[in-house]
Chains A and B, each alone.
Chain A
């Protein structure tokens, strides 16, 4: 057991702040990187120290393994938390951190490597008896890849082997789409992960994305903390996540969770991880991939279990045994998360840039807002477009939806276009209320989700407020006695 005294957070924006807060509660000092293009993060003011990092483009600083480690060592840290994204699933980083004598808050490099390669991960899952969709690995025989893929049947999902986070994936609905899908998937994978290896798998139509939060410690304990449903996606990226999964039969849920625990156990998994599956409309589930890091949507699990997952991560990293057994994990109520992105959801989800001129964070019972920006922060193409996470808990799903819609209406980040109103329309859709969630939801209901035209009364109110908020450049000072006479007319 090694107590962490000072933690370096190799990340930024909302997750950096979230980790800082738990670390502080545990009496651990924190250090967060600062970059010339990232000076407005909310963690920067709350961390104990900041360390300047360098890189062009800016994200390169967070992908610079020696740079991150050096920054951690120079600031006297004894542990590194990678957050999510960036280097969190980079086995080389995990190893380099360990080699540098620092504690890596996450699983070992071997496990990251195993699960990071989607093909290896699939094979491992099969050995553990987890169902997988039929697939074809290009590497087995590149020349016959297209033929073998076609043999699986359409629709097909072509994915990057080293991919994740919804990038490097293309659907081919018909045979004639396949060649194009392969070339797109390859170029995207190369661009995002530097690795163009592909595999193709059967695409389940109207799949539900169900994932299980697992946790392992160095004492051989592995538990699950329930499932999350993340079916509302656009371009394979999650927008809305919730727990428990609506309308998932209890028996199926238990099978998926047990299979996930078994998989993690077999891999001797340590720290936080998520086993992602897809569930077909017929109620079959298939292993998709395992993410060897804390996920963006972890607050959903925290809200239904009442646990602090970052705290568990730090304890496990310190060598402690998990403080609770599976039987002690209790689930209460319903939680939901909406990702607040800087994009125009009504114009094809086109990303927007600008500046957060006015920020208003929603509050209220059961409302948690993990905000990644401060007022005045520029929003540029330098970084990911997710500006905040809005997480809501309620005694049941209906209450959660209602609270979420109310909180979305209250959320304001004026100066850049965000998707809060779009998300509210999704939540309002009767199909969503009925729990008819699958990854095709947004495409299927596209027409219904378009924004309503503004009414004349709304337009007038908006103009009246706009005029009042506009600076007084064009206003004239009216002298007396006219100022006091006001709008008098004989």
Chain B
């Protein structure tokens, strides 16, 4: 490996323009994140105080080792749903460190709608547990929820990956030998009661904690029995009579201290070994990423400059540097871990697709995790390329990529459009983590292209009927499509729907990847193998 030689001129007008624009985007992101994490109506905070409950962030502060990193997942889920009132879908998920080991946290946020589960809350919990399964990460559940949000029950209850999937995932984790601890800090009602029941260990707080399949109102309605929450499913009953919960705590700090102690007694996993050495900071300042990547995805840039500000020592060993130049392939280290990087520097052609496929095979065989840096509008189209087999070559790239059993990580740096998303390990392709940048876009095609295509179709339809459209009428067809496409291609829309695991400040990309890669080593790599390549 040798150091990438940067060609960026930090004094140039282009750099400064990019820097200013990206800074704005990052500041907007930080404001939204701060709001989602901390801004709550006074009355909700007062209610928590009266109930002697800590906020979810205070709980995490007591639970996680002081001074250690936290990789939060889906901070801005539901930012465009439910009138923007359900920050993070009422959930906090992330990878934190307890007693020096990685732990996946799933925490209800009782300061948002009582911690009620909306459809996106379920999606976030299921995704969190999927991450636990794929990476074999122990899970700690901080339970404090009012239960399912009934008005939207059809979107959160019946389907395959709805609420039931939470409990199915818990069972799978248990079967795999991954420890789970539940800390019952509020109510676990109905299905929610299964969370502590399916965990290896559960701690419950006296007074606030309650576990019951049906709460007091439901019980009264069902059988006429009148019983208090404490007697029905409180700490004393469950830790002395039913044995549903294992440890009773007097208050939240006590409960969290017990949970830490329990975790200290679970057996650490032996990690999968990969090529890993001492880490080294990038030679170039990661802040320069702001000046390198334009906020308009249509403007190109050299992805090598991005790589140089993410990897250790800005060192990179480029594979096939002169062939398939729109695909950059090469080895680098992130926080000491050797990874294979695939990064787009333009549209995908035959040669770039083949190069990518070969490189991914090398990485998979040599047990090197893969990092995909996406900025792709798609594969090349046109007769010349079809005759050369661009579709076959794209298929080979996708087939190889899916066949890889080393962990895969994707960062959408610029655009992620169409089939290019697939080959470069988009969401559907079982990467361990996928993140967006604040200005990035994701759609089946660019908004302009979509608007033009749809307008085109409409125009010809009307032409066949004998209508001719003027500029204004064309605009009337184009504009709404453009607007809706733009809104739905936006990174914030993607993260709201949890099509990604979060929007990263470009400067945080290195740490996010580093933490994710090291966490992924808790799961052993699978057996190599892939399907049939159309040669």
Contact = CB atoms under 8 A, between A and B. Distances in A.
The reply, when asked whether chain A contacts chain B directly with Cβ atoms under 8 A, is yes
Interface of A: 476-482, 484-490
B69 interface: yes
Contacts of A477: 100
Which of B75, B100, B279, B508 has the largest count of A CB atoms less than 10 A from its CB? B100
A476 B72 contact: no
B518 A481 contact: yes
Contacts of A484: 279
Given A485-B511, A486-B69, 18 more contacts: A476-B65, A477-B100, A480-B278, A480-B335, A481-B515, A481-B518, A482-B100, A484-B279, A485-B514, A487-B66, A487-B69, A488-B69, A488-B70, A490-B70, A490-B72, A490-B502, A490-B504, A490-B508
Given A490-B71, A490-B508, A485 B65 contact: no
A356 B65 CA distance: 34
Nearest to B517: A481
Contacts of A486: 67-69
A489 B69 CA distance: 6
Contacts of A489: 69-70, 72
B534 to A, nearest CB: 40
B213 interface: no
A487 B67 contact: yes
Nearest to A479: B100
Interface string B258-287: 000000000000000000001100000000
Given A485-B514, A489-B70, A478 B504 contact: no
A487 B278 CA distance: 20
Interface in B85-135: 97, 99-100
Interface residues of B, number: 25
B336 A481 contact: yes
A36 to B, nearest CB: 43
Given A476-B65, A490-B71, A485 B515 contact: yes
A482 B97 contact: yes
A490 B508 CA distance: 6
A488 B100 contact: no
A487 B64 CA distance: 11
A345 B182 CA distance: 50
Given A490-B504, A490-B508, A480 B69 contact: no
A29 B278 CA distance: 63
Given A485-B511, A489-B70, A489-B72, A480 B336 contact: yes
A146 to B, nearest CB: 61
A463 B234 CA distance: 34
Contacts of A481: 279, 335-336, 514-515, 518
Nearest to A490: B508
A376 B104 CA distance: 47
Contacts of B278: 480
Nearest to B75: A490
Interface of B: 65-72, 75, 97, 99-100, 278-279, 335-336, 502, 504-505, 508, 511-512, 514-515, 518
B511 A488 contact: yes
Which of A482, A484, A487 has the largest count of B CB atoms less than 10 A from its CB? A482
B65 A480 contact: no
Contacts, number: 55
Contact of A478 (B70, B100, B505, B511): B100
A480 B97 contact: no
Contacts of A488: 69-70, 508, 511
Contacts of A478: 65, 67-68, 97, 100
B55 to A, nearest CB: 15
A487 B515 CA distance: 12
Contacts of A480: 278-279, 335-336
23 contacts: A476-B100, A477-B100, A478-B67, A478-B68, A480-B278, A480-B279, A480-B336, A481-B336, A481-B514, A482-B69, A482-B97, A482-B515, A485-B68, A485-B69, A485-B515, A486-B68, A486-B69, A487-B66, A488-B511, A489-B70, A490-B70, A490-B72, A490-B75
A105 B72 CA distance: 80
A486 B67 CA distance: 5
A490 B67 contact: no
A487 B518 CA distance: 17
A463 to B, nearest CB: 14
Nearest to B509: A490
A61 to B, nearest CB: 51
A490 B336 CA distance: 20
Contacts of B504: 490
A401 B502 CA distance: 65
A261 B256 CA distance: 75
B262 to A, nearest CB: 15
Contacts of A476: 65, 99-100
Nearest to B64: A487
Contacts of A479: 100
B43 to A, nearest CB: 27
Given A477-B100, A488-B511, A482 B68 contact: yes
A475 to B, nearest CB: 9
Which of A478, A480, A489, A490 has the largest count of B CB atoms less than 10 A from its CB? A490
A480 B66 CA distance: 15
A121 to B, nearest CB: 66
Given A480-B336, A481-B514, A487 B505 contact: no
Contacts of B336: 480-481
Nearest to B435: A490
A488 B505 CA distance: 12
B516 to A, nearest CB: 11
Contacts of B505: 490
A490 to B, nearest CB: 5
B359 to A, nearest CB: 25
Nearest to A478: B100
A478 B511 CA distance: 16
A87 to B, nearest CB: 58
Nearest to A484: B279
B59 to A, nearest CB: 15
A481 B100 CA distance: 11
Which of A477, A487, A488 has the largest count of B CB atoms less than 10 A from its CB? A488
A4 B204 CA distance: 79
A486 B97 CA distance: 11
Contacts of B66: 487
A490 B100 contact: no
A193 to B, nearest CB: 56
